[in-house]
Chain A
Amino acid sequence: MLLFRSEEHVDAWCRKHAQDRGAVFTPQQMWVVAEEWFKRRLAPDWRRHSLQEAQELFERAGLTGDFWRLS
């Protein structure tokens, strides 16, 4: 889960590490997920998001398709 200067740098990293290209998206989409995911982490009654809640969160951020399927 890394940050890169550009998509060209993602491709260079994938070649260097013999990795398939995964999902490339914007920091703004990452913020939508991170904000919801962590905003209650310090609450005494915090609980993990359910798979369904997590899936819905990815969809709200526009992260859809097989890559984002949790189950």
Chain B
Amino acid sequence: MTTASEQELTDRDVRLFVYRDFLANGVPPSLTDTARALRITNAEVGESYDRLAAARVLVLRQGKREILMAAPLSAVETRFRVTLADGRSRWANCVWDALGVAAMLHQDATIHASCGDCDEALTLTVQAGKLERADGVVHFAVPAARWWDDIVFT
């Protein structure tokens, strides 16, 4: 039986490991990878994944304990590829998250995106904490209060 504060510490450690590993490898860690790295059981990691998903920190694949999103990072290819100043490239979930990768890492970044309608290449560039190049316009189809009704569509 773990206390609420022990769960909070576990969730913090799981969150930090997931992000660190996801950034290092470009894909999210499996539940087993996370358990091994943190020296806790698969069951404890699974419960932590569930809590982090309920808190909207992680998005898991439907019916599974596999990470699909750890915003701003995406486990699958999207329209938004972020190339960082240190040479790494990572997939982001949406235009908000693509800019979020640069913000989260406090790095210059170039976002290689494409028009949601015609697929033409569009570029956003972040330099020294400022958006220096900004092609196109942003469109949100879903009102803010309903974003989490279907976050994959949103």
Given contacts A4-B139, A69-B144, contact A38 B103 (CB under 8 A): yes
How big is the A interface, by class? 35 or more
Q: Which of B36-44, B58-66, B117-125 has 4 or more CB atoms under 8 Å from chain A?
A: B117-125
How big is the B interface, by class? 35 or more
Q: Which residue of A has the minimal Cβ distance to B105?
A: A42
**B115–A5 CB distance below 8 A:** yes
A16-71 residues with Cβ-Cβ distance < 8 A to B are: 16, 19-31, 33-39, 41-42, 44, 46, 48, 58, 66-71
A-B contact count (CB 8 A): 156
Q: What 0/1 pattern do residues 80 to 97 of B give for CB contact below 8 A with A?
A: 100000000000011111
Partner of A35 from the list B99, B114, B116 (CB cut-off 8 Å) is: B99
Max count, chain A CB within 10 A of own CB: residue among B19, B116, B131, B139: B139
**A10–B99 CB distance below 8 A:** no
**B117–A4 CB distance below 8 A:** yes
Q: Is B154 an interface residue (CB 8 A)?
A: yes
Min distance, Cβ B150 to any Cβ of chain A, angstroms = 12
Question: Could you name 15 residue pairs across A and B whose Cβ atoms are closer than 8 Å?
Answer: A1-B94, A3-B136, A3-B139, A4-B136, A5-B115, A10-B137, A22-B141, A23-B140, A24-B137, A26-B137, A34-B96, A35-B103, A41-B71, A42-B105, A46-B15
Q: Which residues of A does B touch, CB under 8 Å? A: 1-7, 9-10, 12-14, 16, 19-31, 33-39, 41-42, 44, 46, 48, 58, 66-71
